[in-house]
Amino acid sequence: MSAARSAVKALPRHLARRSLALHSLASRPLAPLATPSVSSRRWGGSLPDRSSKFTKLTPDHIKAIRELLSSPGSLISTLDNSASPEDLAGFNNDWMGKYFGKSPVVVKPKTPEEIGKVMKYCYDNDIAVVPQGGNTGLVGGSTPIHDELILSTANLSSVRSFDPVSGILVADAGAILETVDHYLAEKGFIFPLDLGAKGSCHIGGNVATNAGGLRLLRYGSLHGSVLGLEAVLPDGTVWDGLSTLRKDNTGFDLKQLFIGSEGTIGIITAVSILCPRRPTAMNVAVFSLPSYEAVQKVYAEAKSHLGEILSAFEFFDKQGFALSSKHIEEIHGSERKIFETEGDFYCLIETGGSNAEHDEAKLSGLLEHLMSNEMVLDGVLAQDQTQFASLWSLRELLPEACGKAGSVYKYDLSVPVGKMYGLVEKMRKRLRDEGLLVGDGQKEGPIRACVGYGHMGDGNLHINIVANKYSEEIEKVIEPYVYEIVAAENGSISAEHGLGVMKAPYVSYSKNQTSIDMMRKIKQLFDPKGLLNPYKYIQ
Amino acid sequence: MSAARSAVKALPRHLARRSLALHSLASRPLAPLATPSVSSRRWGGSLPDRSSKFTKLTPDHIKAIRELLSSPGSLISTLDNSASPEDLAGFNNDWMGKYFGKSPVVVKPKTPEEIGKVMKYCYDNDIAVVPQGGNTGLVGGSTPIHDELILSTANLSSVRSFDPVSGILVADAGAILETVDHYLAEKGFIFPLDLGAKGSCHIGGNVATNAGGLRLLRYGSLHGSVLGLEAVLPDGTVWDGLSTLRKDNTGFDLKQLFIGSEGTIGIITAVSILCPRRPTAMNVAVFSLPSYEAVQKVYAEAKSHLGEILSAFEFFDKQGFALSSKHIEEIHGSERKIFETEGDFYCLIETGGSNAEHDEAKLSGLLEHLMSNEMVLDGVLAQDQTQFASLWSLRELLPEACGKAGSVYKYDLSVPVGKMYGLVEKMRKRLRDEGLLVGDGQKEGPIRACVGYGHMGDGNLHINIVANKYSEEIEKVIEPYVYEIVAAENGSISAEHGLGVMKAPYVSYSKNQTSIDMMRKIKQLFDPKGLLNPYKYIQ
């Protein structure tokens, strides 16, 4: 970007020169890994038994539901041979190859009213339902556990309205995050959320799981930016809570309950959200650092020098960098050395502002300070849009790189910033003590790597444990230990991924009994038959 | 401020010169008007009858409650002669002189546990309770309607903890907003909320009413910044939801239900909140403008030129400016002319950033653009901290100025920005048509002025109708008409003031039946006996 190009003039030569090493790292769209075939892997953990209170679907049910839909093609099922098990695999299974459902039917209604009709039928007939968006979740929240009907929002994907004065967007739940963001970009606005799965995930799913992502530091949580929701309630009522008002104090803020409810009290069908102006000047730099203490110091300096234009501060460790770099090399088919001096840690700093000259001056000030005080080992500043994307890919492709290296146990934790990396070290020690992680984990033991990375500004740490394969033995070493060390720091066992089926049994590590009791009552109030997304979340 | 001083060098002479006119307008702390005596005025509207399901308090109850408290002085009552009716007036009556309760007792526990004990006693004995913070509300939400026990958080006023790395503050609910903000200022942070009543209001009350205020444009709503709450539930349970995590997706976000619940499902006893860094450079300018269209144009220009440093954009009309200026002149005992060319409208622009030089450059760019394109009639830029406060006082003292001029009917509405001032014009026309507003309203009719002002960026309009006195006749002309014209624009009848008793009957103008039904169920779930803040909010 021209912004970065002129800023770099004032930088130490070393930094400017090193940045050129990146020029041929091409930008690449991000997407989840391909869905594995049904036979590839099985989840090691135990799952809740099927509840006998739910009706077992028959061809008659399928026929009746199909008649509720405006287009017969909106339903596919193995029960009437309109689909094979393989056709349903992408809906029954998650992208990590960890969770496998056995639903015989996927319904993709074309309007909220159709979803309402299907839901009412299910309500009247005690049929359990899994709402599904892009199915990009990480905790088994969007796939069936047994034979629940899959209700997909994929056919609700339009932008309903956008007001360029206020920046308020109203869009269908099934709209894909990246598509919506491109739509907004043309109008000079930005969706206040960004995450690795943006090419597949639905904004309805983002809201239902209260997704956090890469720019929460700048734009805050969805609880602050979502203005209204439309949702189908368990009895089939289409609830219109689709306010486009920035302020409205007329009663309980009901939409807040649906944000992060993981499809357990209603199916979100549309979202009204406040979108900020898109920054006209953006910069990104990545540094190698000697220690986690150094990362924390650089974070403090970044906040101080960059103030209101700091839009992201991500970190990852050398294990993550190794996997990510290898993955990128494989994509491009050639070896590249990005940093002259590599470190135990890396951090990515992004700025976004309205005045390129001012932003460059602030960023130059920071870079000079970091280099002259030897707070970083090496640094790379993006020189153009391609390099901007390439630097981001070091961080954004990290989950994909882990997935490529093996079967990944993913943990998403929230603890005070100073305590974050200590959790990775504790976990690594435990894996070594139990003989699972040997040496540097270079394919010698059952665990190949234990990687730590995350969103520094949010106190959100991701631990990815890459195993040769999922196994109950490994899982028992990791869980509940990982939740115990988080609970000891009063942290959260799920910063942003949610509970799903994976963490549902462990919610008491993060929530007290009074809270859990209140949650159960709310679930019972909204969904007395327990039809929506059963076996998960709060049971 | 030095920031503004050097910026002004580049401004047109006229603007620079005019700004000097303000130098002797001294800064003045803001506070609600003094509470009128009980006999001064009576509210014109009809109130709900007392419910016979609530126990009538006796001296025995008072004795029993006093025994629950660590300090006997934490309870005052007319039933055991520990207080006179005058002693209770400041708790029974609101500051506008509009709502008058008849409670015989005020309890001010010193800990959340004491509040829990008192609440449990009330629960066991069917005693209705009004939670009360600073009692600065505008809709009769914090005063009793009949003889409800008043439970004040005034004795819970400490900061519990502050983490300067994350900016996370944990404080008792009874801490006064301005006191907390001063505490944060010393550490380089700012409370993400500011409003006229800051000298009296409690942060617990702010959260319970989801206060919006003057800087929501920059820092967003409390739904985004509050991280956790502690609250006493109707049965006396002390619920610890006082998380200090920025991200936590482990179940329903329960605290969100309490934000804006107006004391109907629990008594907030402590707040955990994310506080941003305090801007190190701040500027404020006020302009006179020819029309509401001009205000909208200037708003668009301000957003474009100032980007991420725009921290407030307020507007008020000439009727408001006249009252405000007169009030300020009376405070200072001398006449002052602020603008050479006065207008039909005024707007106040505030910037807050991390680099004074950059902010000045951005602001100078805007001011030059506005002056050279004749988009404003006149402008004043604050030259130092005193002028900064003086310019703000034109807007901040406006409600107080209205209160001084008569009995004020206050409306707080949310509509799309383009439609905002049309509501004031419609209301003025109706008041004229009904013969209540004559000429310019210069003391000729029962209505002295109909003033419009508000938070431009939030689509939040305040209409203040200044009457000689409250009367049922006037109220019937205004209500429900004012709600009808808001509903016609899909607006909110309460952008930030809440429902209280004033707007409880009108909630259906802003919320559909499905929403109201859900709200009633939530109230019933949390407070099955209906003891907390009865007769108000959602009934």
In terms of Cα–Cα distance, which of B56, B29, B95 is closest to B407? B95
CB neighbours of A47 closer than 8 A, spacing ≥ 6? A145, A501, A535
Pick the CATH number of B59-152 from 3.30.43.10, 2.40.10.480, 3.40.50.300, 2.40.30.10: 3.30.43.10
Grade residue B539 by pLDDT with cuts at 50, 70 and 90.
confident
Instruction: State mean pLDDT over B256-278.
Output: 97
Per CB-CB distance under 8 Å, the chain B contacts of A243 are 492
- DSSP-derived secondary structure for B245-284: -S---SS--THHHHTT-TTSS-EEEEEEEE-PBPPSEEEE
By three-state DSSP, how is residue A303 classified?
A: helix
| Residue-level pLDDT at A45 | 57
Pick the CATH number of A2-30+280-399 from 3.40.50.970, 3.30.70.2190, 3.40.640.10, 3.30.70.1400: 3.30.70.2190
Across the interface, of A239, A253, A458, the residue whose CB is closest to B260 is A253
How far apart CA A259 and CA A208 sit, in angstroms, is: 5
Q: Compare all CA atoms of chain A with the CA of B163 and give the residue at the minimum distance.
A: A416
Fold equal for A2-30+280-399 and A406-500 = yes
Across the interface, of B233, B249, B307, the residue whose CB is closest to A209 is B249
Q: Do B300 and A492 touch (CB under 8 A)?
A: no
Please provide the average confidence, as pLDDT, over all residues in chain A: 90
Strands of A325-406, DSSP E: 345-353, 378-381
Mutual angle of helices A292-306 and A356-372, in 10-degree steps: 150
How far apart CA B217 and CA B389 sit, in angstroms, is: 19
| Residue-level pLDDT at B293 | 97
How far apart CA B430 and CA B435 sit, in angstroms, is: 9
Question: Which pair of tokens denotes residue A227?
Answer: 């203005």
Domain B159-274 has CATH 3.30.465.10: yes
Q: ipTM of this model?
A: 0.91
Q: Do A251 and B165 touch (CB under 8 A)?
A: no
Structure confidence by residue, pLDDT tens digits, B369-396: 999 999 999 999 999 999 999 999 999 9
How many other CB atoms sit within 10 Å of the CB of residue A333?
A: 6
Q: Are residues A389 and A302 in contact, defined by beta-carbon separation less than 8 angstroms?
A: no
Which architecture does CATH list for B406-526? 2-Layer Sandwich (3.30)
Instruction: State mean pLDDT over B305-320.
Output: 96
How far apart CA B225 and CA B168 sit, in angstroms, is: 10
Instruction: State mean pLDDT over B197-209.
Output: 97
Q: Do B253 and A257 touch (CB under 8 A)?
A: yes
By three-state DSSP, how is residue B232 classified?
A: strand
CA torsion, points B2, B7, B11, B16, in degrees to nearest 10?
Answer: -10
Contacts A–B by Cβ distance under 8 A: 248
How far apart CA B97 and CA B34 sit, in angstroms, is: 9
User: How distant is the Cα of B87 from the closest Cα of chain A, in angstroms?
Assistant: 32
Q: Compare all CA atoms of chain A with the CA of B416 and give the residue at the minimum distance.
A: A245
Name the residue ranges covered by the structural domains of chain A.
2-30+280-399, 59-152, 159-274, 406-500
Q: What percent of chain B has pLDDT over 70?
A: 91
Q: Compare all CA atoms of chain B with the CA of A502 and give the residue at the minimum distance.
A: B250
Q: Are residues B127 and B57 in contact, defined by beta-carbon separation less than 8 angstroms?
A: yes
Per CB-CB distance under 8 Å, the chain B contacts of A245 are 414-415, 459, 491-492, 495
Q: Compare all CA atoms of chain B with the CA of A256 and give the residue at the minimum distance.
A: B256
User: How distant is the Cα of B243 from the closest Cα of chain A, in angstroms?
Assistant: 8
**Ranges of chain A whose pLDDT falls below 70:** 1-45, 440-443
Domain A406-500 has CATH 3.90.950.20: no
| Residue-level pLDDT at B31 | 32
User: How distant is the Cα of B88 from the closest Cα of chain A, in angstroms?
Assistant: 29
Across the interface, of A308, A459, A523, the residue whose CB is closest to B246 is A459
In terms of Cα–Cα distance, which of B278, B201, B130 is closest to B496? B201
| Residue-level pLDDT at A531 | 98
Q: Do B247 and A414 touch (CB under 8 A)?
A: yes
> Given strand A310-317, what is the order of strands in its sheet?
A378-381, A281-289, A345-353, A310-317, A447-455, A460-467, A407-414
- pLDDT beyond 80 at B23: no
Q: Are residues B420 and B315 in contact, defined by beta-carbon separation less than 8 angstroms?
A: no
How far apart CA A537 and CA A506 sit, in angstroms, is: 10
Per CB-CB distance under 8 Å, the chain A contacts of B538 are 251-252
Topology at the third CATH level for domain B2-29+279-399: Alpha-Beta Plaits (3.30.70)
| Residue-level pLDDT at A24 | 29
User: How distant is the Cα of A415 from the closest Cα of chain B, in angstroms?
Assistant: 7
Strands of B138-237, DSSP E: 149-152, 159-163, 168-172, 226-232
Output phi, psi for B214, to 5 deg: -90, -20
